Structures are given as C-alpha cells and as structure tokens.
Structure 1
Amino acid sequence: MSGVLGGFAALAAVIAVGWGVGRSGILGADAPGMLSRLSFFVATPALLFLTLGRSDTATVASLALIATAGSAVVAALLYIGLARWRWRLPAGQLTTGALSSSYVNAGNLGIPVAVYIVGNASYVAPVLLFQVLVMAPVGLAVLAGSRADRQQSPTWRQLVLAPLRTPVVIGCALGLLLAASGLDLPPVLLEPVELIAALAVPAALLAYGMTLHGAPRPAAGALAGQVWLAVALKNLVMPAVAYALGRWVAGLDGIALLAVTVTSALPTAQNVFVYAATYDRGTLLARDAILLSTVLSVPVLVGIAVLLA
C-alpha cells in the first residue's frame, strides 16, 4: 500500500506547490498557460519518445488490450452520447469530456499501483501504448480542428493532418521508430532528452496547481453535471466494463483480470488538462475531473484489490 499512497502523495505535493506559487503571484498570471505549453510542446514529446523507444510494442496486441482499450472506448462514447444529448456541446468540449472519462494516469500512478496491487509494472504497458498511439492522436486531431477555423467547421483533411503536426504525436512516432529499429542510442544523445523529459510531469502538475488558486469549488455551477458525468464514467463505469470485457470476452482470470480492472480504475491523467489548456477547450472541466477522479479512485482501487486479489 505504501507504493500506491506514495504515488498519490507525490502528485498532491507538487500540485500543492503549484497552488502556493499561484497564490503568491511570483510568476505572473500567464504562468499556468506557459507551463502547460512547455509541458505539451517540449517536455511531453521527449517523455513519450523515451517511453515508447524503450518499450516492447508487441504488448499493445495482447489480450489485455481488449479490456483496457474497449473500456476506454466505451466510456468515451458514453460521455459523447450523453453530453451531446443533454448539453449540445461542441466537438472540442465533447472531446475534453470524453478524454476526462477515459484517459487514465498510467504513467505516474499506474506504475506504483500495478507494482503494489498486481506485482508487475508491465501490465501498464498496453493501456499506455493505446493512449499515446490512438487516444491522444484522435483527441488532439479534434481539438486542433475545433480551433483551426472558428468561422467554419474544419474539413476532414484538416482533422487528419492536424495530429501529424502535433509535437506529442511526433514524439510517439519517433519513439516507435526507435523501438522498431532496436538501436541503443548513446548516452550523449539520450541524456539531454531525459533532462527535458523530466520536466513533463512536474510542469503539468505545477500548472494544474496554479489553476486551483482562487478557483470555485470543484463541480460547481453550470459545469457540475458534465464533471460528475465524466467522474462517474471514469471511476465506476470504465473499470466495470474492463472487468466484463476481460472476463467474458478476452477470457482473462486471476492476476491478468485484476490488472486490467485496476489499470482502468486509475484516475484521469494530467495530460488531459494540458491538452485542454493548450487548445482552450474544456479546461475547467478537465481540471475538476482530474481532481475528483483522483480523490475518488483511492477507495475504488482499494475495493477492487480486496474483491479480486
């Protein structure tokens, strides 16, 4: 349990520092946006390049992908359908809500959670690869397209080409090329990339913490319904669907079934806030969904461990 709690504590500590910096005003009012852009355009591509470059991409085709990818797709589509029917939201806000409902914190919390509950961090690989190879490019394509031309709807050509110009997707592509080539880059080339990549998570968390200063109570006002819909899908529906798909579709049991259920129960990733802030689409929704899903994921993860371990 110490590994899981330690992961949550580390995130909370950096967010708290960001809140303190935001309250002091020493970096100015534009600091959250600048840090978000630094994370999105510079540090996160470097981190994804290293992550995928060192991974075994064959794991993305494992049976676990049926449950992890399937549950993410179901949660995202449910949000899109329900939110579109209830609030008539435009594509950009629907995309942020869908990502808030389905994009899990596999990088920061996924590893300690998998190590403690499942006993093996490799179970995080399928969901991590699916997110960076499929969910992020698709989500960023819609977000970029919704911003590309405010006067008219983007064309399919714009939607298809938009992610190809996105640093996050470029970083993923270069990482996959490195993994496929089997090359071991010399330290003199990797060390600068590692230094830049180390900025990704703290920059995103600090920016997130700064936005909490002076912010209203989470899930308050007009966004309350949208936030709670995303949180309910993320914390309850997604792990339930992952369990069902893993057990009755993929035929998983034991540790493998526990792993896909646990990884699907992880809270919303800070990446969603960075994406939303970069394209100015549903930033407040992403912020509140991350906060509430992280808090509520603790009893959910513990309950899953007790029932299935």
Structure 2
Amino acid sequence: MGAVLTGFAIIGVIVAAGYLSARLRIGGPDAGTVLNRVGFFAASPALLFTVLATSDVARLVQAPLVVAAACALAAGAVFVVANRWWLRLPAPEATVGTVASGYVNANNIGLPVAVYVLGDPTVVVPVILLQLLVLAPITLLVLDATTSGRTSWRLVVSQPVRNPIILGSFAGAVVSLTGWAPPVTVMAPLEILGGAAIPMILLAFGMSLHGSRPLRRGQPRAAIAVASATKLVVMPVVAFLVARYVLGLDPAAVASAVTLAALPTAQNVYNYAVRFGRGEILARDTVLVTTVGAPVVLVVVALLLA
C-alpha cells in the first residue's frame, strides 16, 4: 500500500507542477500543447518501443486484452441503455457519450500509473493497442456516418497507420517476437528519449486542467453524470468480476486490471468530438470529471485489493 501511495504522490506532484506552471504562465499559452505533441510524437513511441522490445509480447495479448475488451463493451452498453430509456441524445452525441464511458486514458495517465503504481509499464500496452487499433477506428467510422451520412473508409483505415504510438508499439513487438537484440547505439538514445515521456505528458496534463469550468448551467449534466459514473464505477467492477471470476487471474493481475479500468476518460474522446463538431462539451466535461474522480477511485481500489 505504501508503494501505491508513493506512486500516486509522484504523479500528483508532477501534475500539480504542470498546473502551477500554467497558472504562472511559464512557457507561454502553448506550452502544454507543445509538451503534449512532443510526448505523443517522439517520447512515448520511444518508450513503448524500448518496453515492448524487451518484453514477452505474446503474454500481453492474452488475459489482459480480454479484460480490457469486456470492460469497454460493458461500459458502452450501460450508456447506450441509459440513452435509449432516459437521455435521448442524438446519434453523434450518444456515440461520444458511449465512447467517453469506456475509453480510458491509457497514455497520459495509464503509463505513469503503470510505471509508478503497478511497477510494470507493459501492463497498459494491451489497453493502448485495443483502443487505438479497434475502438478508435470504430468511433471514427460511426461519427463519420452519423454526422455526414457517408463513411470515409480512408479516414478510418489510415488512423492507426498514422499514429506514432502504434508505430512505436508495432516496431517493439516485432523486435520482441523475432528475438533480435538491437545494438546499444539504437537502444540507449531511445531509452533516454522514452524516459522523458512520462514527465512531459504529466506536466502537459496538469497544464490542461488550468482554467477548466465543468458542469455549468445549460450543459448536458445528466449525460456527463452517466458517462462519468460508468467510467469510474462500472468499469472497475466489471474488470474485477471478469479478471477474478471469469478468467481466474492471480491477485496481482486482478489488481492491475481493476486499476487500469479505473483510469479516467481519455482526451482522445474530446479530440474526436471536436473533429466532427458534435458532443464537445459532453466529452470535455466527462474527461475532467473522471480525471478529478479517478485518483479517489484508484486509492479505494488499492485499499480493497491490497
């Protein structure tokens, strides 16, 4: 338990430093955006490459992937049912709410949690791959069809190929599966660059929290509440049930699965909403509410599963 609290403390301090930097206008108004882009396009791919290249990739695509898929499906189903019988949102907004209920922040928050709390950065890889290779293309496909009345397969198919996180992960997986050992001249600089990923994305995340004002009057509060509650409560419960009673995983694997399921909604959902001009407020506020609530849920999970 002490290690878990220490991990959360490390994450919290860096996020707070990012928030304070934004409040003091250190680095200018675009500092958070710059850090996010460098972390996304350069440091995170390097980190995932070095992690996967030295890991047993075959192990990663088994039980953890099943748990992640079950959680995402269950959370999405809850929002769909709530929308059908209560919320009555139009199809694009309902799509955004459904995705916001089950698409976790596996990169900005998941990687730091995996490193500092779970002690193994590879545990978050199945979630990242599932979301970027399966959930993201489906989300783009549905949003494209419901907002324009047509389907741009080029947009959907090219999305994973243009994603540096996927490219870095794929390259690392190839190295792991082939058994090739890259020379030190390749691995050493990538390890240094990858080491900068987590501090950068945590600082950028803290900066993004400055100036946010969620749940103002006139916003879709009911939909935000349903998506947030589903993300913070339903997903961890489903993860526990599937990992513990369906797959029979050991206590450490169960704790890992539940912790990852309790991560907040990913900022990608907001990006998708902005891309199609529908459900932006629903996505933005769900990201913020779950981000504020996730640390509490994660501490409760750690206490219950310690």
TM-score normalised by L of structure 1: 0.78
- Cα offset for 1:94? 4.1
Q: What residue number does 1:290 align with?
A: 291
**Residue type at the aligned position of 1:297:** L
| Partner in structure 1 of residue 128 of structure 2 | 132
CA contact 2:215–2:285 (8 Å) conserved in 1: no
Rounded Cα–Cα distance in structure 2 between residues aligned with 1:259 and 1:236: 15
Structure 1 residues 254, 129: closer, same or farther in 2, change over 3 A? closer
Contact 1:19 1:211 in 2 (8 A): yes
Distance in 2 of aligned mates of 1:277 and 1:34? 16
Q: Please give the alpha-carbon distance, in whole angstroms, between the structure 2 residues aligned to 1:42 and 1:84.
A: 42
1:273 maps to which residue?
267
For the pair 1:46 / 2:49, whether they are aligned, the reply is no
Structure 2 residue 78 is matched with structure 1 residue 78: yes
Aligned to 1:141: 137
Q: 2:237 aligns to what SS in structure 1?
A: helix
CA distance in structure 1 between the partners assigned to 2:220 and 2:252 by the alignment: 37
1:276, distance to aligned residue in structure 2 (A): 4.1
Q: Does 1:93 align with 2:87?
A: no
Deviation at 1:129, TM superposition (A): 3.1
Structure 2: 5+ residue stretches without partners = 276-282
User: Could you say which residue in structure 2 is the equivalent of 1:19?
Assistant: 19
Q: Distance in 2 between matches of 1:63 and 1:97?
A: 23
Q: How does 1:151-166 map to 2 (within 5 A)?
A: 153-166=150-163
**One-letter code aligned to 1:178:** V
Residues 69-113 of structure 1: CA deviation (Å, up to 9, x unaligned): 322332244345645872336277347514545859543223554
**Aligned alpha-carbon RMSD (Å):** 3.4
Classify the secondary structure of the residue corresponding to 1:108.
Answer: helix
In structure 2, relative to structure 1, the CA distance for the partners of 1:72 and 1:256 (3 Å cut) is: farther
Change (3 A) 1:277 1:41: farther
Is 1:235 aligned to residue 238 of structure 2? Answer: no
Answer whether contact 2:52 2:176 (CA < 8 A) is retained.
Answer: yes
Q: Structure 1: which amino acid aligns with 2:100?
A: G
C-alpha spacing 1:94/1:34, structure 2 compared with 1 (3 Å): farther
Task: Say yes or no: does 1:110 pair with 2:106.
Answer: no
Q: Distance in 1 between matches of 2:305 and 2:261?
A: 9
1:5 positional shift: 0.6
Q: d(CA) in 1 for partners of 2:80 and 2:38?
A: 29
* 2:92 alignment partner AA: P
Q: Structure 1 residues 279, 66: CA separation in 2 closer, same or farther (over 3 Å shift)?
A: closer
Instruction: Check the 8 A contact 2:124/2:260 in 1, yes or no.
Output: no
Return the alpha-carbon distance in structure 2 between the equivalents of residues 144 and 138 of structure 1: 10
Are the structure 2 counterparts of residues 182 and 162 from structure 1 closer, same or farther at C-alpha, using a change threshold of 3 Å?
same
1:7 paired with 2:20, answer no
Report the CA distance shift for 1:83/1:140 in structure 2 as closer, same or farther (over 3 A). Answer: same
CA contact (8 A) 2:103 2:131 kept: no
- Unmatched tracts of structure 1, length 5 or more: 116-120
Cα distance in 1 for partners of 2:67, 2:139 equals: 26
Alignment size in residue pairs = 293
The answer to whether the Cα contact below 8 Å between 2:70 and 2:239 also exists between their aligned partners in 1 is: yes
Counterpart contact for 1:262–1:301, Cα < 8 Å: no
**Structure 1 position 255 matched with structure 2 position 248:** no
2:32 equivalent in structure 1: 32
The CA distance in 2 between the partners of 1:188 and 1:47, in whole Å, is: 16
Deviation at 1:2, TM superposition (A): 1.6
Q: Is the 8 A contact 1:36 1:274 kept in 2?
A: no
Q: Percent identity?
A: 28
Question: Is the CA contact (8 Å cut-off) linking 2:65 and 2:127 kept in structure 1?
Answer: no
Partner AA of 2:210 in structure 1: H
